[in-house]
Amino acid sequence: MKRYLLAASAAALVTLGGLAPAWAEYQTAHRGGTMRLLARSSGGTLDPQINYTLQYWQIFQPIYDGLVTFKKADGNKGFEIVPDLAEALPEMSNDGKTLTFKLRKGIKFSTGQELTVKDVVASFQRIFKVSSPTAGSFYAGIVGADKCLAEAASCTLEGGVVADEAAGTITINLTAPDAEILSKLALPHASILPADTAAQDAGSAPVPGTGAYMISAYDPNKGMTLSRNPNFKEWSVDAQPDGYPDVVQYDFGLTEEAMVTAIQKGEADWMYDQPPTDRLVEIGTKYQDQVHISPLTAWWYAPLNVNLPPFDNVKARQAVSFAVDRNTLVNLFGGKVLAAPVCQVLPPNFPGHEPYCPYTKDPGTKWSAPDVEKAKQLVEESGTKGQKVTVVVEDTAVSRAIGVYLQSVLTDIGYVADVKPISSAIQFTYIQNTNNKVQMSVSQWYQDYPAASDFLNILFGCDSFHPGSDSSINMAGFCDKEIDKKMKDALALGVTDQAAADKMWAEIDKAVTDQAPAVPLFTPKHVDFVSKRTGNFLFNAQYYWIVTQSWVQ
Amino acid sequence: MSDTTLSTAPVPARKGRGPWARAARRLWQNRSAMVALAIFLLIVAACLAAPLYARWAGVDPFQSTLDAVLKIDGVDVPVMEQSTEGLGLGYTPLGPTWNLKHYFLGADNQGRDVLARMLYGGLNSLWISAAATVLTLILGTAMGLAAGFFGGLTDTVLSRILDVLWAFPIYLLAISLSIVTLSEGLKIGPFVIESGSLWLPVIIIGIVYIPYVARPIRGQVLALRQSEFVLAAINLGVPGGRILWRDILPNVATTLIVFVPLMMALNMLTESALSFLSIGVQPPDASWGTIIQDGQALLYTRPWVALAPGLAIAVSVMALNVFGDGLRDALDPRSKIRLGRD
């Protein structure tokens, strides 16, 4: 997923310099206080079924619950799916097409209203009624979803989500088995909200949840206040643990420079935005105990449009992959501590990842150095030398720097290249639309949930290519029927044998990499800069720092 | 009796000076204007020498050189330095060496020589501001002359067009035009300007400032239109175009000359602002505005990357304004012409 638009997650926790306490028992002595968070701006709507930003998916964790959720634990344990509002993981029947959940009893919303199966049914209907951004992708496999997608206002999901009030169960029927359905149900878009929640974007009005905290004040121009949910009683430490601070004050509007200074002075506890590059040396030396660096299951890449010259020629695409010096790009991102070179699609420590690197001086499993001579030879062979190439990048310091570097690489191997930085607000949709005839761009993808399909199928599957649309995430326009069939086979295999499916995804990863519809650049790491008083820092692989599991006193 | 005796000797006849010579003399005697002109010409000369400097210093200001290592006083100095202390976070470009041969002002975040980029960038900034000034003066003068001289429907239509242009905040209009032309360039009939061309900022800046020139010119022409020599020419049946060219244009020429440095200063600021917002000069080309933008991310550790082009803009604009004031005083000491500020 795109970092700005979607939630992200990470692979494993690695803390360098900072302390990473092991998952421990709740320590009452640290309970209380006000935690102060900072961000440059708000993350948009408060509606958990609509908001699709990392910023708010992270803050929604102690506020909302689904039937299942990702475990609130550090590192890769955060990829584990655990029962949340459901008593247990669902019973699967009907060849994996029917999931039956038993709802926990005694859970209340922050309004005091008790959670019932009616709330669950209404919440699933609401996903479609409010046109949740993932309604047509993640939840389209629920029986009745096609009608809901066609006529959202009258959505009933008849036969798709069925409640049994007496038994306290919810049955979800799928049109076909889906190996990833639990991951999809664990996302904030499947949060369970009160049945009477209006079927429209909640905007700046907080929606009641069942979590340990609730939003008690919100002004998108100023900030957000979280306070304890008075009706919360912990039912699962894995799914919705009680938090430490009494209040979480999240303020918006400062620059990254000002945020770093505020944390240094102890006036704030954490900043959502990444510290500016010119402050990294300072915080990495003088404040190293307050810095946490965590690798992410994410990918910076340069999609190459396989339907436009010169990259409609596979040799031209491979040439660029050979020529790009990943170490240079890593340095542009802030150095090897903050990123690692890659030359395949699936990030390290990710399901289906098997090290593979054909585009390096000594092809094998690891990138070592660019092979510019080979690149020039491929350009000659492709007959594309001298053609014009424009690289479209975001107008941010790092993206612009990468674009300028790629322009110099393209020039070096024989193209007439230029770089076009455009506003971050429009670049992501601009490069997706085939009408804009983008030959090459720079983008990022952060996983929605830990599955190889979330990279390979989403970014390079035929179903993700929609010519003429702003929502065509397969920016390369890559559609190889044979590879696409293998993806569908792997998805089906995952229902019964995930390990075998992951082996298949590894083969697909290699096949896509060989076709070079994108230049893999690097996998980034995440920097969290926290105040001196912040303790018990836990970095969850799925939702990053678990805010309320840290203490400030 | 007074010490002073009045001379009764005849005063020798002095050769009369023309108005241009008198103006040149007044300008020459205006020390601050001359110093300003000298400073500006020095900047122009330095910028024109950009290719020579790059060749002499052995640097390519448009090529990323992140792994370059310099030999300064026998010591190897990396252009980009990875922090090795603490967590090893950060990758810092070389700071100013104050040695003209080696990255005098240091490197930017691509490992490029900031001074070389500044000189090349200055060349673009100066060229764009000068070309936009010429364009503004040509279009503004044509509109002002036509509106003021022909009056009637011509005046009404042209004045409303100027009103529309005037009604937009300048930067908003420039930014809007830049965004529209940024991706696809500009295509008007057979004229095609590709995106990324330096002609795009020239045209955008040239257009947005037309009212600044056209309105005062129109006012002057309205007054001249009623003067006796123009009325006489009209009554004698001299064609309108000939009157405009021979009688009116020479009378507004001094105003136009005064406009040149003042418009250049204004255009330079506008070009920098657009480039700073990534909608002016496009990479890998540079201008002072784009270099400030590059330096923004290095303000804390390498402030000279942003400060140096900022100073260059400030000094150039100040020099042009001081020279422009001097020029105005020299050509017409009673003139009240001042450029408006948006």
- Angstrom distance (rounded) from CA A302 to CA A409: 13
The string of pLDDT tens digits covering residues A125-167 is 999 999 998 998 899 999 999 999 999 999 999 999 999 999 9
Spatial contact of A109 and A64, defined as CB atoms under 8 Å apart:
no
Residue B337: pLDDT band (50, 70, 90) is: very low
Q: Is A41 helix (H, G, I), strand (E, B) or coil?
A: coil
The string of pLDDT tens digits covering residues A178-221 is 999 999 999 999 999 999 999 999 999 999 999 999 999 999 99
CATH number of the domain at B121-286, please?
A: 1.10.3720.10
Q: What is the pLDDT of residue B65?
A: 83
Chain A residue nearest residue B185, CA to CA: A420
Q: What is the pLDDT of residue A18?
A: 38
The CA distance from A267 to the nearest CA of chain B, in Å, is 20
Is the model more confident about B7 or about B241? B241
Q: What is the pLDDT of residue A17?
A: 36
Q: What share of chain A is helix, strand, coil (3-state, %, to 5)?
A: 30, 20, 50
Spatial contact of A117 and A105, defined as CB atoms under 8 Å apart:
no
Instruction: Please list every residue in chain B whose beta carbon sits closer than 8 Å to the beta carbon of residue A293.
Output: 87, 89
B80–A401 C-beta distance less than 8 A? no
Q: DSSP letter for A462, please.
A: G
CATH architecture, range A298-526: Roll (3.10)
Nearest to B64 among A328, A420, A436 (CB): A328
Q: What is the pLDDT of residue A500?
A: 95
Bridge partners of A440, per DSSP, are A304, A391
When scoring A261, A281, A393 by the number of chain B Cβ atoms within 10 A, the one with the most, hence best to mutate, is A281
A514's tokens: 């060989």
Domain A28-249+530-549 classified CATH 3.40.190.10?
yes
Instruction: Please list every residue in chain A whose beta carbon sits closer than 8 Å to the beta carbon of residue B182.
Output: 420, 422
Mean pLDDT on A16-38: 74
Chain B residue nearest residue A405, CA to CA: B64
Spatial contact of A58 and A532, defined as CB atoms under 8 Å apart:
no
Is the model more confident about B90 or about A436? A436
Spatial contact of A244 and A550, defined as CB atoms under 8 Å apart:
yes
- Angstrom distance (rounded) from CA A5 to CA A8: 9
Q: What is the pLDDT of residue B297?
A: 84
SS3 letters for A109-158? CCCCCECCHHHHHHHHHHHHHCCCCCCCCCCCCECCHHHHHHCHHHCCCC
Mean pLDDT on A419-430: 84
Nearest to A405 among B64, B298, B300 (CB): B64
When scoring B64, B89, B298 by the number of chain A Cβ atoms within 10 A, the one with the most, hence best to mutate, is B89
Residue A531 buriedness (CB in 10 A; 0-12 / 13-18 / 19+): buried
Whether A15 has a pLDDT exceeding 80, the answer reads no
- Angstrom distance (rounded) from CA A238 to CA A216: 25
Spatial contact of A99 and A91, defined as CB atoms under 8 Å apart:
yes
Chain B residue nearest residue A438, CA to CA: B183
Percent of chain A having pLDDT more than 70? Answer: 96
The string of pLDDT tens digits covering residues A78-90 is 999 999 999 999 9
Q: What is the pLDDT of residue B197?
A: 85
Residues in chain B: 342
B86–A334 C-beta distance less than 8 A? no
Nearest to B80 among A278, A331, A419 (CB): A331
A337–B87 C-beta distance less than 8 A? yes
pTM: 0.81
The CA distance from B63 to the nearest CA of chain A, in Å, is 6
B302–A286 C-beta distance less than 8 A? no
Residue A14: pLDDT band (50, 70, 90) is: very low
B283–A17 C-beta distance less than 8 A? no
Cα B89–B95–B96 angle (5° rounding)? Answer: 175
Nearest to A407 among B86, B109, B284 (CB): B284
Q: DSSP letter for B25, please.
A: H
Q: How many contacts, defined by CB atoms under 8 Å, are there between A and B?
A: 125
Does B62 lie at the interface with A, CB-CB under 8 angstroms? yes
- Angstrom distance (rounded) from CA A79 to CA A69: 9
Q: What is the pLDDT of residue B12?
A: 62
Q: What is the pLDDT of residue B174?
A: 82
Residue B175: pLDDT band (50, 70, 90) is: confident
The CA distance from B277 to the nearest CA of chain A, in Å, is 9
Bridge partners of A420, per DSSP, are A392
- Nearest Cα to B179, choosing from A214, A423, A31, A437? A423
SS3 letters for A395-432? CCHHHHHHHHHHHHHHHHCCCEEEEEEECHHHHHHHCC
The string of pLDDT tens digits covering residues A381-400 is 999 999 999 999 988 888 88
Mean pLDDT on A6-26: 44
Instruction: Please list every residue in chain A whose beta carbon sits closer than 8 Å to the beta carbon of residue B300.
Output: 257, 276, 278-279, 282
Instruction: Please list every residue in chain A whose beta carbon sits closer than 8 Å to the beta carbon of residue B178.
Output: none
The CA distance from B279 to the nearest CA of chain A, in Å, is 8
Chain A residue nearest residue B86, CA to CA: A285
The full DSSP string for A473-498 is --TT----HHHHHHHHHHHHHHHH-H
Instruction: Please list every residue in chain A whose beta carbon sits closer than 8 Å to the beta carbon of residue B112.
Output: none
SS3 letters for A207-232? CCCCCCEEEEEEECCCEEEEEECCCC
Instruction: Please list every residue in chain A whose beta carbon sits closer than 8 Å to the beta carbon of residue B296.
Output: 397
Q: Which of A171-175, A423-427, A462-466, A477-481 is the least confident region?
A: A423-427
B110–A336 C-beta distance less than 8 A? no
Mean pLDDT on A436-455: 93
Chain B residue nearest residue A411, CA to CA: B63
**Per-domain residue ranges for chain B?**
121-286
B62–A281 C-beta distance less than 8 A? no
Nearest to A328 among B67, B85, B89 (CB): B67
Nearest to B283 among A337, A421, A527 (CB): A421
The string of pLDDT tens digits covering residues A94-132 is 988 999 999 999 999 999 999 999 999 999 999 999 999
- Angstrom distance (rounded) from CA A434 to CA A447: 24
Whether B277 has a pLDDT exceeding 90, the answer reads no
Cis peptide before B93 (omega within 30 of 0): no
B302–A337 C-beta distance less than 8 A? no
Nearest to B283 among A279, A281, A404 (CB): A404
In whole numbers, what is the pLDDT of chain A averaged over residues?
A: 92
- Amino acid in the structure at residue A528: D
The full DSSP string for B185-246 is -EEETTEEE-TT-THHHHHHHHHHTHHHHHHHHHHHHHHHHTSHHHHHHHHTT--HHHHIII
Stretch(es) of chain A classified as CATH 3.10.105.10: 298-526
Q: What is the pLDDT of residue B15?
A: 63
- Nearest Cα to A400, choosing from B94, B269, B277, B82? B277
Q: What is the pLDDT of residue A4?
A: 45
A532's tokens: 């001196």
Q: What is the pLDDT of residue A165?
A: 95
Percent of chain B having pLDDT more than 70? Answer: 92
Mean pLDDT on A307-336: 94
Q: Is A300 helix (H, G, I), strand (E, B) or coil?
A: strand
Percent of chain A having pLDDT more than 90? Answer: 80
- Angstrom distance (rounded) from CA A54 to CA A291: 20
The full DSSP string for A341-384 is E--SSSPTTSTT----B-SSSS-BSS-----HHHHHHHHHHHT-
Q: Which of A175-179, A238-242, B224-228, B329-333 is the least confident region?
A: B329-333
Instruction: Please list every residue in chain B whose beta carbon sits closer than 8 Å to the beta carbon of residue A527.
Output: 89
- Nearest Cα to A539, choosing from A189, A222, A293, A297? A293
Whether A22 has a pLDDT exceeding 60, the answer reads no
If contacts are CB pairs under 8 Å, which of residues 251-280 in chain B contact chain A? Answer: 278
Q: What is the pLDDT of residue B68?
A: 85
E strands of chain B, at which residues?
Answer: 69-72, 75-78, 80-82, 91-93, 186-188, 191-193
A488's tokens: 């569908």
Residue B9: pLDDT band (50, 70, 90) is: low
Does B156 lie at the interface with A, CB-CB under 8 angstroms? no
B92–A331 C-beta distance less than 8 A? no
- Angstrom distance (rounded) from CA A430 to CA A444: 14
